Structures are given as structure tokens and as C-alpha cells.
Amino acid sequence: MQTIDRESAGSARVAIVGGIHGDEPAGVRIVKRLADELSPFEPADEGGTDGVESDGLVRLILANEPAIEAETRYTDADLNRAFPGDTDSDEYERALAPRLAAELEGFDAVLALHTSHSAPPPFAIFSDLTESVRRTVTGLPVDHVVDASGLRSTTLDSTIPHTVSIEVGRQGSEEAVEFGYEACRAFLRVHGALADESPTFSETTVVKGSEEVPKGGGEPHVHYANFEAIPEGAVFAEDDVYTHRVEEPGVVPILASERGYDDIFGMYGRVTGVLRPPGEGDTRVYPRDERSRSGGDGADGENDADRSERVN
């Protein structure tokens, strides 16, 4: 693990984590680029100044260096399934998880960078909705956020308070690097760490993951893109084994991909509502207007533990 501390324009302590998965070069490149651009962190002078020194900090982390070096997702265990981990573990990532958690202790906001095999658009993921998480999500240039609460307890965003994960694009693409870099700058802005321009916020649609969509064999076809509403009765995906017809309204794909995953076409998700920008109401998910939720009772997706293993 490499930790690089940089100066913040404000008083918040914020962190950006890349290289959680070693085969996702975008996060590594983004972290290095930010490290080059931001000023080195100068700790407040021990001798005491006039007390105007802020204690803000931008912490940049490259998490899994051996996996990054080997260009592999992990060496012993998936780091983003290894939290809270175990310092005594023989498995590299299980021992790394608590060290990474310690580096992020007490931070006001954390952004974890990922890429996927699925097509754009990029999206964010949260497990625990705090005021900081709301600020991050509505300040990022994404239209959708996946609510992973209750799904897992072994990811970074489910373990470290105020953490949001972001899928910045397709693994290995230049677009993922460019988009992720801009997303990081937006993240720094909304938490006051970057003062180059005013932060902007927008309402973000919340999607709850419900189930994986299995893949059989033969020629795969996926007919709907991520977060695109699948009409009732339409076929989301098919191959020689499966024809996945959606029989109810309100279903959208997450991580939809024809060839990205060996055994799934992606996941089904349901729109549960929207997050509003800071200052516009409470920190909660506001249900969308009722017309688009015909028949929805809000209870869907409550028993979906471990069904969305592919999300970040």
C-alpha cells in the first residue's frame, strides 16, 4: 500500500483509493495524476502559527501494490470482499484490509475507484447513507447510484464510514481514466478540498440491486443498457440456454454485459427513488413520482444478501 498525502483547500479530511483491484489500471493512473497535480501536504508547524492553519488533508492511496504489479485482480483473496480482514491472516489481502482501514480512520469522505467489464454509464455505489455520502453522490457526475445496503459487509464501502465507490468505466479504457479523474476533482470540490471552481450538485437516481441474471452458453445477446428501463414483457438478455423475459415493471439492468462475465449477463435492479442535493430536504431516499412505480410496494430487494457479488 502506498499513501500519498496532499494539501487540501479546506478543513475536511478526504481520501481517494485506487488499485483495490490490481487489474483496474484507471484508478492507479488517476491517483498518480492527482498526486502529481496537488501540492505536497505540509503538516502544521509545531512551533505554532496564528492558529489559522487548517487540518484538512487529501489522502491518496494505491491499495494493493502486489496485485497492481502483477496486473491481477488480487493475489490471495479479493480485497473488496476481505473487510474487515485479519492482521494475522496468511492471505495478503485479508491482512491488508485492516491496514487500509487504519489509513482511512476518521476521514470525512472516502471515494473508492473501480472499473468493470460493463458498458457505460458510470455509476456510484453506497452501503450506508450518511450526510457525507449524500454530498459525494449528488456531487459526482453520475446519474445513478446503486444502494448496496444490506447486501454485503465485506466491501470497503460497507466497512469504512462515509465511503462511496464509483465505477468509472470500462476496464482498461482511456475514457475510464478521463471520466474518473473528473469525478475525483468533483469529489474534492464538494468536500472543499479543491477550490478551483464552485461545486455542483444534482439529484441522483437510486437503484437497489436485486438478483443476478445467469448466463448459459452459446451466443450471448443483451438488449438493454445499464439503468435503461426494461419494458414489461421484454427480453433483457438471451443465449442458447436462457431467455430472460422481464415480467414486471420497474426493472433496470446493472453491470449489463454480453461477454464481461462468464456466468452472468449482469444484475436486475429496481429504482427506489432519488437522493437530493445537500440543503434540499433530508438525507434519505425520496420515492420517485408514483406514476413510474405502479404496483411497487417498496419491499422488493430486501432479502438479497450475496446476490450482487459483481458490484465493484
| Contact footprint for Zn ion (CB under 5 A) | 21, 24, 114
Q: Which amino acid is at 259?
A: R
Nearest approach, Cβ of 21 to Zn ion (angstroms)?
4
* Least Å from the CB of residue 237 to Zn ion: 23
Indicate the residue among 17 and 251 with the shorter CB distance to Zn ion.
Answer: 17
**What is the closest distance, in whole angstroms, from the C-beta atom of residue 22 to Zn ion in the complex?**
9
CB of 269 to Zn ion, least distance (A): 18
Q: Which is nearer to Zn ion, 6 or 21 (CB)?
A: 21
Least Å from the CB of residue 310 to Zn ion: 10
d(CA 101, CA 107): 10
Is 99 in contact with 153 (CB distance < 8 Å)? no
**How many C-beta neighbours within 10 Å does residue 88 have?**
8
62 or 194: CB nearest Zn ion: 62
Q: How far is the CB of 233 from Zn ion (least distance, A)?
A: 34
Cβ closer to Zn ion: 78 or 128? 78
Of 27 and 277, nearer to Zn ion (C-beta) is 27
Per-residue 3-state assignment (H helix, E strand, C coil) for the chain: CEEEEECCCCCCEEEEEECCCCCCHHHHHHHHHHHHHCCECCCCCCCCCCCCCCCCEEEEEECCHHHHHHCCCCCCCCHHHCCCCCCCCCCHHHHHHHHHHHHCCCCCEEEEEEEECCCCCCEEEECCCCHHHHHHHHHCCCCEEEECCCCCCCCHHHHCCCEEEEEEEECCCHHHHHHHHHHHHHHHHHCCCCCCCCCCCCCEEEEEEEEEEECCCCCCEECCCCCCCECCCCEEEECCCCEEECCCCCEEEECCCCCCCCCEEEEEEEEEEEECCCCCCCCCCECCCHHHHCCCCCCCCCCCCCCCCCCC
Among candidate residues 254, 253, 252, 255, the one with its CA nearest the CA of residue 293: 252
Question: Which of residues 114 and 244 has its CB atom nearest to Zn ion in the complex?
Answer: 114
- Residue among 9 and 148 whose Cβ is closer to Zn ion: 148
Closest listed residue to residue 264, CA positions, set 303, 233, 310: 310
Q: What's the min distance (Å) between Cβ of 124 and Zn ion?
A: 13
**Which residue's C-beta sits nearest to Zn ion?**
114
Between 5 and 24, name the residue whose CB sits nearer to Zn ion: 24
* Least Å from the CB of residue 301 to Zn ion: 22
